[in-house]
Amino acid sequence: MEPKDAIAFNNLSIEASAGSGKTYRLAERFLLMLTEYLKSKATLKSLKFCGGNQETCQTPTSIDSIIAITFTNKAAAEMKERVISFLKCLAGIKSDNVPDVGLDKDSSFKLLVEIVEKFSDFHITTIDSFMNRILKAFAADLNIHPDYEITFDRDTIFDEAFETLVADKANAEELLSFLNKLLLLSQYEGMNPKAIVKKGLKKFEEVELEEGVVGFSDLLNCLDIKAKTLEEIYNSLKRKVRTEIGIIRQILEESKKLFDGRQIRTLKTIDEENIIEKYEKLKERQSDNPSCNFLKSNNLPPETEKAFNESFNSLIEISEQFLLLKGVYEAEAIKEQLSKLKEIEKRIKSSLNIVEISTISKDISGILRKDLGVSYAFCRLGERISHYLIDEFQDTSHSQFEAMEPLIDNALAGEGSVFVVGDKKQAIYAWRGGDYTIFDKITNKDGIETDRLKLNYRSAKNIVKFNNKVFKVAKLLNNEFSSALSKNSAGKKIRDAIIDIYKYSYQRIDKNKQDNNPGYIEVKLADKDVIDENRDEFYRKSMIRLIDRLINKFKLKPSQIMILIRQKENIKKVFSWLKEEFPNIEFITEDSLTLISNAEIKKLLLVASAIAFEEEPAYKKALELINCNIDIKGLTEQIKGLTPYEVFVKLLSFDEFDNKNNKAYFDRLLEEVLKLTEQQKSLQEIIQYFYDNPDITITLNEEIEAVRIMTIHKAKGLESHTVIVPFYDWSLFNPPKNLYRTVDLSPFVKGKKAFLKIDKDIKLFLDDAKEQYADFVKTQFIESLNIMYVASTRAKENLFIIGTFKEKKNNKMTSGDMLDSILKGVYPDQFKQKFFLKVLKFGELEKQEENKSGSVDDGEIEQQPPKRVSISREFLKVYPKESFNANIEEKRLGSLYHLAMSFIGFMGNKNIDNIAEKAYQKASSLMGYKNPKAVGLIRNTLEDLKDYFENIDGFHNEKEFVDRYGNILRPDRIVVKNSQIYIIDFKSGKKENEHLQQVGNYMRLFKKAKGIIYYADKREIVRVG
């Protein structure tokens, strides 16, 4: 490799809007550092990485002196893939456009080999993994043994701590007090006190408790109040109120000609019983001279004015004192039980030597705040890593930043380098602690330069233009929105945040795309007042018509379509609507394509369990039920002396497992098994690991012919040819109902803090409460607005938005309301209303090449198993295609039969023919499809399963359950008879082995249940369990 001149590289903070190539820039920077490391090894003139006040900086001395930090496993995998791909291209192994970093083929190949040989030093990792690395440096400070294990199972720790808490007899009285407080909140219902307490603690467990806060008794002393109970305080308040009201009313009577009759209505109706209710109205009139707010024109005599004002202000002060004491008193029980719960959790984690992934950065931050000195291990970490590349910095939490900041400062002050990228417009993770303002903190550090990526490489011309106009500050702050904002207590903060975040939202169009398809935008907003009762039907019909139009008329492939949804519960609705209407199109949702949900993985773990727990006959019996013919006894002998990893490899060599169609699942499982084997875990522990961690997912090839349905949050970082955003009606303003915080009591009680609920009254007289409340509302609003931005910037060529609006806007505006207010100003001639719909069409929707994957009218199509490979796309779940060889008419008949059976409850003495006919008519009316054969299937079912429709104790049809792994299960019918639970599943097709598994899954929802599968065509009953 020939030596090259040094290039100065400054520490850099880049603001990168959607589609501007930030991942490319990160990978390029990483590659430049690797190049400089290789050059330094050859003792050539090195590249300068400049930072702080240093004129030159240290060249990377090893691969592990460089670290790239991302926020998800998906992003980390993508960046690793990008860096390796660049090197392969430079080494001539593959061809593609790559940045010129001064590496020749031989050097690139050598670097690839070194990365493979030292892969553990190749640091492209997640923020959680890096926090774990830092935590290990502070293990001694936190009294944690360095070989601790990380757990993701927050619920198990909580459950064990809760049981310990309620079992403590000494805590019984305090728990009862806590229960009373929960019932007062009117959000906790039921007859089980323990369940109510558990639900309450679960809701409050994320609340941060600070040290040194005053309690109720402390506050009484601070205010010099002799009363000891809230009741005594209230009685004292009433006496004082009567005195002050008497003075005010006497003045009103004596000077009644001077007072405005309408203005004094509140003063005339106020008394000791309603003073707290009237507090807000009184506070509105408080000023330097309150009497002026009630007079016609002339002033009161000086002495009278002074007396009025003193009594008026005294009423407010009395009210505020009581509201504060009441707030602290009511929150104290919550604080006490939370403190005890957290202390028990701490003991549990210490005894088990485990650390929660969610608390790692908070633990580090807590140590650093105490300023006890920095551990030697932490210093060594700072010396070892000197070059930082950090992605998605706008999603960093305060505790994560506090944990990283000393290391970043060390790099800036020494001879390292810092490179961060982020986009405040894409900050949508406030709900998990992300704070976009932290991006400004690192940007404003000395020695860091700033830059912006202004070119959009992703989207077609019209889509870039649309987003430039919609998210322009002047358009966001239009008259309608500004009017709504003026009525919000956080209005100024929100306005300032919009200006700060969106001032550089404008993007340039990629010249290379000028001659391509210019792109198409279609917005459809329905008047909410008109369609409110039929909201779901509006969205259902809109989605069905649009998918039919895109796939059948414009010949888009399913893989070109991505549906983005704000709320996860609506994913299921959309999936069911589209799957029912388009049975021969495959759909993907984000509902976790987990290892544990795959039938082949379940079978593999079952075989492994039969070996590992050979004394348990249940596993062998389960294998018989699914017709698995592996000789467990012989296999147990064969695997003696093998490591767990070798055992799983051995198992996968059997023909019993479908490797061809499940390769990605098996590869992912072996990856985890290898890691656990290296940690000296036993076969039993590894099997249990997969059941305890049901969220382990595989990723899918984007070329799979399926429509993707996911939340907007999970779509961040993704893109698609065509994007559809239904349910565009989420709330922008979300005032908190139960906002509990530690609040500075100044100016009411200076230098003291208390834990209390910030409500509409408390924030009127405590400045810190007002600030915290406004910050919360602002943060919620910005996240909702940013979700609009993220959704609109995923599309490459076509963008469809379907939502609702209200003609009369108020301070409860939704995303649809805001978009409506913007589009009226941006596209006044094109955004027109017809009946209850407002529609904007911009550009031209282009027809694609013939879609060979099949459409709703294709009839019978040979089934192709979906291709699954491991790539960087996580959290996806495939709903496999139904067999297209089956006759469409048979499928419809099956759906009609199932729907009809869902309408039948108790049969009693009613005529079976009448029941069958009535259920059939109702189902066919709803489906818009008739097939008299269904009546016979229904009648036969009722005759053959008569015992489960007569003389029963109870039943549920199509009731949804969620199992321990988060899977949604919906048995056809559950019957309780003579204290026995029966799970009944109706089948209109042929027998399948998976039917037994399906019913088995249903049965596991209950402690003791029996299963029945009824095959309607053959009139055959199969009993399970």
Binding residues for ATP: 16-23
Q: Choose among 897, 863, 16, 1002: nearest CA to 419.
A: 16
Give residues with Cβ within 8 angstroms of 193, minimum separation 6: 179
By DSSP bridging, strand 720-728 and strand 795-805 are: parallel
3-state secondary structure of 695: coil
Kindly write down the DSSP assignment for every residue of 446-475, as one continuous string.
TTEEEEEE-EESSS-HHHHHHHHHHT-HHH
The four Cα atoms 263, 264, 265, 271 give a dihedral, to 10 degrees, of 140
Query: Residues within the annotated binding site?
Result: 16-23
Task: Please state, in angstroms and as integers, the Cα–Cα distance from residue 686 to each residue in 608, 623, 634, following that order.
Answer: 10, 20, 22
Kindly write down the DSSP assignment for every residue of 193-261, as one continuous string.
HHHHHHHHHHHHTT----SS-B-HHHHHHHTT----SHHHHHHHHHHHHHHHHHHHHHHHHHTTTTB-T
Largest CA distance in the chain: 106
Structure tokens at 609: 């369990």
Q: First vs last Cα of the chain: how many Å apart?
A: 70
Q: Choose among 978, 928, 984: nearest CA to 952.
A: 978
Beta strands in 490-530 (DSSP E): 508-509, 520-527
Q: Give the whole-angstrom CA distance, residue 178 versus residue 341.
A: 13
HEC sequence for 376-424: HHHHHHHHHCCEEEECCHHHCEHHHHHHHHHHHHHHHHCCCEEEEEECH
Judging by beta carbons within 10 Å of its beta carbon (0-12, 13-18, 19+), is residue 824 exposed, middle or buried? middle
CB 263 within 8 A of CB 294: yes
CB 593 within 8 A of CB 876: yes
Judging by beta carbons within 10 Å of its beta carbon (0-12, 13-18, 19+), is residue 979 exposed, middle or buried? exposed
Neighbours of 652 (CB within 10 A): 16
Give residues with Cβ within 8 angstroms of 507, minimum separation 6: 17, 19, 20, 454, 455, 456, 464, 467, 468
Q: Give the whole-angstrom CA distance, residue 832 versus residue 145.
A: 66
Judging by beta carbons within 10 Å of its beta carbon (0-12, 13-18, 19+), is residue 908 exposed, middle or buried? exposed
Q: What is the DSSP letter of 550?
A: I
Q: Choose among 117, 122, 92: nearest CA to 31.
A: 122
Q: What is the DSSP letter of 864?
A: -
Q: Give the whole-angstrom CA distance, residue 326 versus residue 347.
A: 33
CB 712 within 8 A of CB 567: no
Q: Give pairs for 889-896: CB < 8 Å, separation 24+.
A: 889/931, 890/988, 890/989, 891/583, 892/927, 892/929, 892/931, 893/931, 893/933, 893/934, 893/937, 893/988, 894/988, 894/989, 895/580, 895/927, 896/920, 896/923, 896/924, 896/927, 896/929, 896/931, 896/934
Q: Give the whole-angstrom CA distance, residue 441 versus residue 302.
A: 53
Q: Estimate to the nearest angstrom the gap between the alpha carbon of 758 and the chain centroid.
A: 25
Q: Choose among 364, 266, 256: nearest CA to 315.
A: 266
